[in-house]
A and B are shown apart, each in its own frame.
Chain A
Amino acid sequence: MILETRNLTKIYRVGKEEIPALRGVNFTLEAGDFVVINGPSGSGKTTFLNLIACIDKPTSGEVYIDGQPTSQLSEGQLAELRKRKIGLVFQTFNLIPVLSAYENVEYPLILLGVSRKERYQRTMALLEEVGLKDLANRRPDELSGGQRQRVAIARALVTNPKLVLADEPTANLDSETGKQVMSIMRRLNEEHHVAFLVVTHDPMVTQYAQRTVKIRDGQLFDGGRTNGA
């Protein structure tokens, strides 16, 4: 099991008021899964993703990544875990604007201390897989939205993570480009046998899911397994 959450709760405190964002969520994800969590704004999607990505702490409950409990890990240990086991794809792409597409994809490998030669091979291979080999030297502002998201997907996968988390990956793309991006993610999920967890409010994305989970008011409702697109 790549990911497991047990009784995951997140409560935000605003003054004296307590706002529950997640209410005791139990969830599991196996290697090679492609799961879409679908829900409206304010349903707790991003909170759930942040907790799984280990960039936020739950109020109670536990997140297990590749069998390892994360609540007791230090900031540095969590950064190490994110670096080695988790790939992230953001709604607004979040590429480093001063780096080229190649350098953006290469960046996580530098954090891992991979040799220059291996970095080159792995980065170029990923860029080729997302169809951007020829645009490797372009900076993000010289790429279209779809191309930027493909760079972000390559960056998320270049470290061979166990799990890729995508937060609204199609929200800033037109529908056609969104479909292309989802197709690429689905293909890479199958080829790399890496688990994908996508949170979105876009119904189109659910077409690509093996399993769709609804989220509403901080609670998950498993919609069962499908074949995906």
Chain B
Amino acid sequence: MELKLLIPLRNLSRNRRRTLLSLAIIALGTAMIYAVRGYVDESLLNYRASTVQQFGNLQIASPLLWAEKTENFQYLIAPEKVAQIVKILQETPEVTAYTVQLTLSGLAITERKTKVVSATALEPQNQALDYNDLVVEGSGLNPNDRAKALIGRTLAEELQLKPGDFFTMTTTTVDGAYNVGPLQVAGIYTLNNAIAEGQLIFLPLSYGQVLLDTAGVAKVIVTINNIDDTERVATLVQRKLAEAGLDFEVRTWEQLAEFYRQIKSFFDILFGFLTIAVSVLVFFIVLQVLTLSFLERTREVGTIRAIGTKRYQVFLMFFMESVFLGALGSLIGIIGGWIVGQGFNTLGIGWTPPGALEPIPVRVRLELLNAIAPFIISTVATVLSALYPALHSARLNVVEALASK
């Protein structure tokens, strides 16, 4: 091995305690960034999956609905318009399924209590969006069900309802008339969200249309074959709707999911702050360690310069030493972060976020791709911390360097 590589490598073993300290700091920083990145990615993927499960990939509705101008129910989509939209969706190969929904609000009433609720009326067991898999007690909704409902766990507790029990739902029809309908609890679902579970009920579309006294629907829900293709397909469908003269607006799941956007933004800021803080910490601690280490070799630098080593070669030696140190520390950090992440994934350690009813297991996404950024960040922080002492060493006066103790 050439000495320009051998000397930096050997110098790493010169003061083992100091090298170990540097490695530990770099490794700790790298492990933190890697593990937190893995946790953030896993959480966002879960949020994304649950958001798509809740909203579908795309939703098509009147601009009035998106603008929340819902007072006169003018946003409702008439059956013939639904048929036109469906035709467009059928001609779009990326679309895997679609369904329609109607939303209504009113009161859920039992003999003992009354509660304000929101209802989503849907096509039971449709291919696009089916909430039956959220059911934890009783059964889901079937296509033949009429006056049945899925209610949240919190609402079930508040109204003291269980599967098979009846309650009454009151609402206002599209003409402003008061309407009442009996509903039987088919099943109880959970979203692990106390607020949603306390307000939201699901019922068959046909019954929702009866309660509102309309044949229309509020929106068309669409799922596509690739979530990463959402934006492109949204634009495509929007163009087709415009070409067909349909004044409807396509929204993507990400546009609809404000909570997801907030969470993502929060995670991005948190991760960015953590990355900067860890990098700065690694930079300054390693700078201190390397400065001391390089200073101790002043006479050695004088010697190699005196026997003909050029300044840039001295700089390269110290630079390569920091590259090896950074790369080795980062590699150890990646392995350490992987072990920590694997530990969390295996042990299933969980925490209960605000608003959640049950602990969510902390899961860390341990992808090799996620290791690249922390590896580069920590190595670059180490190399940057070595720049000044390396430049200083390379520019030493040879006579003064030889005279140093």
Contact B310 A96 (CB under 8 A): no
Contact B303 A106 (CB under 8 A): no
Q: In whole Å, how far is B327's beta carbon from the nearest beta carbon of chain A? A: 19
> Does A62 belong to the interface (CB within 8 Å)?
no
> Per-position contact with A for B14-43: 1 when CB-CB < 8 Å, else 0?
100000000000000000000000000000
CA A108 to CA B310, docked complex, whole Å: 12
Q: Using Cβ atoms and an 8 Å threshold, which residues of chain A touch B313?
A: 111
Contact A111 B308 (CB under 8 A): yes
Besides A55-B402, A92-B299, 6 other A-B contacts (C-beta < 8 A): A56-B398, A75-B310, A84-B308, A88-B306, A96-B304, A111-B309
Q: Using Cβ atoms and an 8 Å threshold, which residues of chain B touch A97?
A: 14, 300
Q: In whole Å, how far is B299's beta carbon from the nearest beta carbon of chain A? A: 7
Contacting residues of chain A (74-101) with chain B, CB-CB under 8 angstroms: 75-76, 79-80, 82-84, 87-88, 90, 92, 94, 96-99
> Does A53 belong to the interface (CB within 8 Å)?
yes
Contact A108 B307 (CB under 8 A): yes
> Does A50 belong to the interface (CB within 8 Å)?
yes
Contact B308 A80 (CB under 8 A): yes
Contact B11 A98 (CB under 8 A): yes
B303's contact among A56, A83, A94, by CB below 8 Å, is which? A94
> Per-position contact with B for A152-183: 1 when CB-CB < 8 Å, else 0?
00010000000000000000000000000000
User: What is the predominant secondary structure among interface residues of chain B facing chain A?
Assistant: helix
Using A50-B399, A79-B310, A97-B300 as known contacts, say yes or no to A55 and B305 having CB atoms under 8 A apart. yes
CA A111 to CA B299, docked complex, whole Å: 19
Q: In whole Å, how far is B240's beta carbon from the nearest beta carbon of chain A? A: 69
Q: Using Cβ atoms and an 8 Å threshold, which residues of chain A touch B11?
A: 98
> Does B311 belong to the interface (CB within 8 Å)?
yes
B6's contact among A80, A99, A108, by CB below 8 Å, is which? A99
Using A97-B300, A99-B6 as known contacts, say yes or no to A55 and B399 having CB atoms under 8 A apart. yes
B7's contact among A82, A94, A96, by CB below 8 Å, is which? A96
> Does A229 belong to the interface (CB within 8 Å)?
no
Contact B306 A110 (CB under 8 A): no
Using A55-B305, A55-B399, A94-B299 as known contacts, say yes or no to A99 and B3 having CB atoms under 8 A apart. yes
Q: Using Cβ atoms and an 8 Å threshold, which residues of chain A touch B6?
A: 99, 103
> Does B10 belong to the interface (CB within 8 Å)?
yes
> Does B2 belong to the interface (CB within 8 Å)?
yes
Contacting residues of chain B (161-187) with chain A, CB-CB under 8 angstroms: none
Q: List 12 A-B contacts (CB under 8 A).
A: A50-B399, A55-B402, A75-B311, A76-B311, A79-B305, A79-B311, A83-B308, A83-B309, A96-B303, A97-B300, A106-B3, A107-B304
CA A110 to CA B7, docked complex, whole Å: 12
Q: Using Cβ atoms and an 8 Å threshold, which residues of chain B touch A55?
A: 305-306, 398-399, 402
Q: Using Cβ atoms and an 8 Å threshold, which residues of chain B touch A94?
A: 299-300, 302-303, 402
Contacting residues of chain B (279-317) with chain A, CB-CB under 8 angstroms: 299-300, 302-311, 313
A82's contact among B3, B299, B300, B307, by CB below 8 Å, is which? B307
Q: Using Cβ atoms and an 8 Å threshold, which residues of chain A touch B303?
A: 90, 94, 96
Q: A residues touching B (Cβ–Cβ < 8 Å)?
A: 50, 53, 55-56, 75-76, 79-80, 82-84, 87-88, 90, 92, 94, 96-99, 103, 106-108, 110-111, 155
CA A180 to CA B6, docked complex, whole Å: 32
Q: In whole Å, how far is B394's beta carbon from the nearest beta carbon of chain A? A: 11
CA A177 to CA B269, docked complex, whole Å: 68
Which residue of chain A lies nearest to B304 when distances are taken between CB atoms in the complex? A96
A56's contact among B308, B309, B399, by CB below 8 Å, is which? B399
Which residue of chain A lies nearest to B312 when distances are taken between CB atoms in the complex? A76
CA A86 to CA B302, docked complex, whole Å: 15
Q: Using Cβ atoms and an 8 Å threshold, which residues of chain B touch A83?
A: 307-309
Q: Using Cβ atoms and an 8 Å threshold, which residues of chain A touch B307?
A: 82-83, 87-88, 107-108, 111, 155
CA A80 to CA B310, docked complex, whole Å: 8
CA A87 to CA B402, docked complex, whole Å: 15
A79's contact among B4, B300, B309, by CB below 8 Å, is which? B309
Q: In whole Å, how far is A113's beta carbon from the nearest beta carbon of chain B? A: 11
Contact A99 B10 (CB under 8 A): yes
Q: Using Cβ atoms and an 8 Å threshold, which residues of chain B touch A82?
A: 306-308
Q: Using Cβ atoms and an 8 Å threshold, which residues of chain A touch B311?
A: 75-76, 79
Q: Using Cβ atoms and an 8 Å threshold, which residues of chain A touch B306?
A: 53, 55, 82, 88
Q: Using Cβ atoms and an 8 Å threshold, which residues of chain A touch B302?
A: 94
CA A97 to CA B14, docked complex, whole Å: 9
Q: Using Cβ atoms and an 8 Å threshold, which residues of chain B touch A53?
A: 306
Q: Using Cβ atoms and an 8 Å threshold, which residues of chain B touch A92?
A: 299
Q: Which one of A94, A98, A110 has the greatest number of beta carbons of chain B within 10 Å?
A: A98
CA A94 to CA B11, docked complex, whole Å: 16
Q: Which 10 A-B pairs have the closest CB atoms?
A: A83-B308, A98-B10, A94-B303, A55-B398, A82-B308, A79-B310, A56-B399, A111-B308, A110-B3, A55-B306
Contact A99 B7 (CB under 8 A): yes
CA A110 to CA B316, docked complex, whole Å: 15
CA A90 to CA B398, docked complex, whole Å: 13
Q: Using Cβ atoms and an 8 Å threshold, which residues of chain A touch B308?
A: 79-80, 82-84, 108, 111
CA A155 to CA B300, docked complex, whole Å: 15
CA A83 to CA B304, docked complex, whole Å: 10
CA A103 to CA B14, docked complex, whole Å: 16
Q: In whole Å, how far is A25's beta carbon from the nearest beta carbon of chain B? A: 17
CA A127 to CA B245, docked complex, whole Å: 93
Q: Using Cβ atoms and an 8 Å threshold, which residues of chain B touch A96?
A: 7, 300, 303-304
